[in-house]
Structure 1
Amino acid sequence: MRILNLILSSLLLSFASFDLTILLAQEILVKPYVQPGDGNTLEGTDVKIIAWLTDQKEAPFVVEYGIKGEPVFTAKPVRVSLDFEKPKPFIDINKPKVVPQETKPKVEDKPKVEDKKETTVKKDPPLIEKEQHYFRYHASLKNLPFNSEIHYCVKSGERIIRQASFRTRPTPDKSARLVLVGDMATGKAAQKAIAWQIQKEKPEALIALGDIVYPTGRVLQYMNYFWNTYNDVNEPSLATGAPLMASVPFYPILGNHDIGARFPSTQDALGAFYFFYPPTQGPGEGSWSTPLGTDTAAAAKFKTINKHSYASMDAYSFDYGSAHFLILNNNKASNMDSPELIQWAESDLTKTKQPWKFVCYHVPAFHSSRQHYSEQQARSWNPMFEACGVDIVFAGHVHNYQRSHPLLFKPEGKRNTKGRVDGTFTIDKSFDGDKNTSPKGVIHVVAGGGGASLYPPGLEKTSISLKEDFEENYADFTAILNADSYSFVSMDLEPTKLAIRVLNQEGKQIDKFNITKPTK
């Protein structure tokens, strides 16, 4: 009995000395990551957001930040509860509509150009549906000097959640490196290899060209397919991805898959609005904004929870170094013909003093793949881009890499019901980006190789079939098309020189070109 009492006493002492906070501590579901915040112009100071996600246990947090060797500042985060019921079977996903490709009638015996390569798509097992309950935290880091490296540490008591650093935006006289990539998180190996190669480039910022997570942009899909590639990666590698978002702010663009789940019947639809914090100085809410359905109470609650991103994510702009970026939602659900949106975009591009002007959206206006070819709603904007001096338009949606020759386009009438916009092309084939670095027209780049299944075939086959089927609607405007590898665009930006390199999942260069501007 004496021995038994000694054992019991020992157990009681051990229990008394046990740190109960280990059992009570919050579980970090998404590690802290950096976001652009409401940084628009390069006047005054910069701002960044640090955000993270936990379970719904109470815990105190603080963010410490500053320039190394200088005074440390603190920011207290704001907490919001996110609660999503388990969807009912078979009605949680509204699959994006497949737009039929317009072709002219053919006689039966006319030979057809086809891609002989059969593509077998392996279906993933469905996600396990469940209720979702989270605390979302975000802290605003204000009054940050431009051209600086900011170190930050997120803590809960003495527990360090993450330590990392990021660069504030550079002023126009400084160089900068950005990455652009679209059609990203499907849960497949390719996205992890691309994330790893992007980290090796050490970009200061990334522009996500839409279709950020598949198949329909739900919060549950972010939790399973996105964060474990781009943020919550303990040992970065080709096979695991990289914790890019700890140091690299992602500027989001909405793609058709990002808005594919129907809100509010699917409560965790439109996941991008919950997680991204873009600049907010756009045209505000309008007919171009992402639809929220007819349930006014649900829509109002969604807007309140996501006031940092709705409806600014549909249209916004920002300065970065010597460049000005205009971001647009040009999916079919967005009213691209809105006079108010067109007026805002034209004013935005006209009033900027930055020497470089870039437009980014999801659905490309000019490309040479059969997939999505008739979705030409953005073509009608090209004359305005030309008049405003836009240098390059970047898009995703088509799952490969393409670059056009510099081109001018004059639309003839309005687009038809399938999106087709006919017009007259003027193509500058003298520009090669090497010896001739002064393009005459707007260059259109498709960078949709971030992880989703690739779209073959190559230009040799598609150019023939598109000419046959679409006649004058198609022209030889594509300079290069690579449908054999996943890829991303790396941009090196200087006040009078722009260098573009395109790298694949193995880190090999598949395209490069330079553009120069005369010194004023």
Structure 2
Amino acid sequence: MKKKIIKHLILFAPLLHFYFPGLSQQTVEYKEPKFHTDWSKPTDYPDRIILNFGQNPSEEINITWRTSPEIDSAFVEIAKASGDPKFWQNKKTILANTEIFDASEIATAEVIAHYHSLEIKELEEETIYAYRVGDGERWSEWFQFETASTNPEKEFSFLYVGDAQNYILELWSRLIREGFKTAPEAKFFIHAGDLINSAHREQEWHEWFTAGGFIHSMIPSVPTPGNHEYRAKDSVEMVAKARSLSLQWNPQFTLPKNGPEGLEETVYYMDYQDTRIISLNSNKDLEIQAEWLEELLKNTEQKWIIVTYHHPMYSASSGRDNPTLREIWKPIFDKYKVDLALQGHDHSYARGRVSPGENILEGVNLLDQTGTVYVVSVSGGKMYEVGGDWTELGATKDRSGENIQLFQVITIKGDHLFFESRTAIGELYDSFELIKTENGPNKFIELRAKAIDEKIESDQN
């Protein structure tokens, strides 16, 4: 792959030099931006405003933001939104919780801030709310969000991305914004780990929040931690070869606290209409999570089960297999018929599945009986080559690709789940459909070829 890229640069260098005389072959390189040391420091004005759902998104929303430590008291003002610009006359003003974040002695963090958060409950279902945050004098703009419906059959979509991690502000920003442009009505955003590269580095977290901008403030995030969210925070941990969860993780996200003890806000679930969304932590305590997951799925009544975690059950790249994860978690996925597993880590794309039965032919379409569908995707600028054979591991890899930034739009409508993977410029890259059958395995329909053929035909006309 590297040889191919170098070969292409050599081929096109003369053309670049012809059209851009001031550009020599030696200067064809990428330069990362430099940030001022105070760029990521908090001020008296709210920043890093982010939404997370509670366990029940039809009536719960969690709001979190940051200020300088001079702001001791902070509030959320919230009201039902309307077309009337004076909707705020019916607002409620609620005092938020405030906690000190002191990482002044931690290298790469070196910051003191106040994080403010509020868990709002007893909201009305399927309702658009507007809110702003501030200290009573310095306020953010008004943002809007919508609560979930209690109608299990109501159609909804959400977005999913793999590792942002590297070149976050300069390259990941275009990806997340294209995702929002493509699916502006998405109800939440799953981030499958490695949101940043260095767990405690304040600048990278600021890049992540800046890249997403108002998207974080309007579409609730569902983050799961990757291995890069775990790093030694000081010399003591480095000597002991220990790793700590990013110091910023718990203060800056307010997630459901319904997971196993000791894994709060990294292992959790929420029920969005007829879909149970489960975040697992593939970095540690796999067996503890297995026990918790078994109990959770045993009592799950939702039609669809979607699980997200970082390290893939089936890897997209060579030499990155996770057999322990597969040994401990996969039997539970199989037993309780998990529909979809959304993963990251491998910086390439792969999509495949386990099949519990024989294929059946129905009309002109091949409707495949299928078990869990596994997806690995990457959204940032760091890329690996694809590799690895799933067949010897008991699964089928249906699609793979490399060197491409992707976001995914997933739509659930009754017994149908539609999956689309799109590039950073919005082009369709991969798609499929899952259909629920009564008491049997899902039916799987490969849509990618059909969708691309239709686009080609449309372009020709």
Please give the range of the TM-score, normalised by the shorter of the 2 chains. Answer: 0.7 to 0.9
Decide which of 133, 146, 152 is 1:167's aligned counterpart: 146
SS at match of 1:314: coil
Deviation at 1:246, TM superposition (A): 1.1
SS at match of 1:166: strand
- Asked if 1:81 corresponds to 2:100, the answer is yes
- Residue in structure 2 matched with residue 445 of structure 1 by the alignment: 375
Deviation at 1:261, TM superposition (A): 3.2
- The higher radius of gyration belongs to 1
Deviation at 1:322, TM superposition (A): 1.7
**Residues 214-239 of structure 1: CA deviation (Å, up to 9, x unaligned):** 1x2115144443111112xxxxxxxx
- Residue in structure 2 matched with residue 99 of structure 1 by the alignment: none
Partner Cα separation in structure 1 for residue 195 and residue 178 of structure 2: 17
- Asked if 1:149 corresponds to 2:128, the answer is yes
- Residue in structure 2 matched with residue 220 of structure 1 by the alignment: 202
Partner Cα separation in structure 2 for residue 405 and residue 58 of structure 1: 50
**Residues 127-150 of structure 1: CA deviation (Å, up to 9, x unaligned):** xx5731111111232211121211
- Residue in structure 2 matched with residue 67 of structure 1 by the alignment: 80
- Asked if 1:184 corresponds to 2:164, the answer is yes
Deviation at 1:437, TM superposition (A): 4.9
Partner Cα separation in structure 2 for residue 380 and residue 429 of structure 1: 28
- Asked if 1:56 corresponds to 2:69, the answer is yes
Decide which of 438, 441, 456 is 2:385's aligned counterpart: 456
Structure 2 counterpart of 1:157, one-letter code: G
**Residues 280-306 of structure 1: CA deviation (Å, up to 9, x unaligned):** 112222xxxxxxxxxxxxxxxxxxxxx
- Asked if 1:34 corresponds to 2:54, the answer is no
Change in CA separation of 1:439 and 1:279 when aligned onto 2, cut-off 3 Å: farther
- Residue in structure 2 matched with residue 246 of structure 1 by the alignment: 217
- Residue in structure 1 matched with residue 300 of structure 2 by the alignment: 352
**TM-score of the superposed pair, with normalisation by structure 1:** 0.67
- Residue in structure 2 matched with residue 373 of structure 1 by the alignment: 321
Partner Cα separation in structure 2 for residue 265 and residue 54 of structure 1: 30
Give RMSD over aligned pairs. Answer: 2.9
The answer (yes or no) to whether the contact 1:54–1:135 under 8 Å persists in 2 is: yes
Change in CA separation of 1:32 and 1:369 when aligned onto 2, cut-off 3 Å: closer
The answer (yes or no) to whether the contact 2:74–2:116 under 8 Å persists in 1 is: no
- Residue in structure 2 matched with residue 302 of structure 1 by the alignment: none
- Asked if 1:395 corresponds to 2:343, the answer is yes
Aligned residues: 381
Identity of aligned residues (%): 20
SS at match of 1:403: strand
Structure 2 counterpart of 1:453, one-letter code: K
Change in CA separation of 1:380 and 1:135 when aligned onto 2, cut-off 3 Å: closer
Partner Cα separation in structure 1 for residue 375 and residue 361 of structure 2: 15
Partner Cα separation in structure 1 for residue 140 and residue 314 of structure 2: 45
The answer (yes or no) to whether the contact 2:423–2:429 under 8 Å persists in 1 is: yes
The answer (yes or no) to whether the contact 1:220–1:268 under 8 Å persists in 2 is: no
- Residue in structure 2 matched with residue 297 of structure 1 by the alignment: none
Structure 2 counterpart of 1:151, one-letter code: A
SS at match of 1:490: strand
The answer (yes or no) to whether the contact 1:438–1:517 under 8 Å persists in 2 is: no
- Residue in structure 1 matched with residue 177 of structure 2 by the alignment: 196
**Residues 227-276 of structure 1: CA deviation (Å, up to 9, x unaligned):** 11112xxxxxxxxxxx2111011111111000123368589943222211
Deviation at 1:492, TM superposition (A): 0.6
The answer (yes or no) to whether the contact 2:359–2:367 under 8 Å persists in 1 is: no
**Residues 459-515 of structure 1: CA deviation (Å, up to 9, x unaligned):** xxx35xx59xxxx84467210002131102111112211110001111111001111
Partner Cα separation in structure 2 for residue 317 and residue 399 of structure 1: 25
Q: How does 1:92-107 map to 2 (within 5 A)?
A: 92=107
SS at match of 1:137: strand
The worse-fitting range, judged by mean Cα deviation, of 47-56 and 434-443 is 434-443
SS at match of 1:352: coil
Deviation at 1:316, TM superposition (A): 1.4
Q: Which runs of 5+ in 2 are unaligned?
A: 1-41, 238-243, 440-461
The answer (yes or no) to whether the contact 1:280–1:316 under 8 Å persists in 2 is: yes
Partner Cα separation in structure 2 for residue 72 and residue 29 of structure 1: 19
SS at match of 1:354: coil
The worse-fitting range, judged by mean Cα deviation, of 182-191 and 246-255 is 182-191
Partner Cα separation in structure 2 for residue 271 and residue 159 of structure 1: 23
- Residue in structure 1 matched with residue 397 of structure 2 by the alignment: 478
Decide which of 313, 316, 323 is 2:268's aligned counterpart: 316
Deviation at 1:78, TM superposition (A): 1.4
Partner Cα separation in structure 2 for residue 476 and residue 274 of structure 1: 39
Deviation at 1:376, TM superposition (A): 4.9
SS at match of 1:245: helix
Partner Cα separation in structure 2 for residue 373 and residue 478 of structure 1: 14
SS at match of 2:51: strand
- Asked if 1:255 corresponds to 2:226, the answer is yes
SS at match of 2:141: strand
- Asked if 1:229 corresponds to 2:211, the answer is yes
SS at match of 2:369: coil
Partner Cα separation in structure 1 for residue 165 and residue 124 of structure 2: 33
Decide which of 259, 263, 286 is 1:282's aligned counterpart: 259
Deviation at 1:324, TM superposition (A): 0.8
Partner Cα separation in structure 2 for residue 357 and residue 348 of structure 1: 11
- Asked if 1:383 corresponds to 2:331, the answer is yes
- Residue in structure 2 matched with residue 112 of structure 1 by the alignment: none
- Residue in structure 1 matched with residue 280 of structure 2 by the alignment: 328
Partner Cα separation in structure 2 for residue 382 and residue 269 of structure 1: 27
Q: Which runs of 5+ in 1 are unaligned?
A: 1-24, 93-128, 232-242, 286-310, 409-425
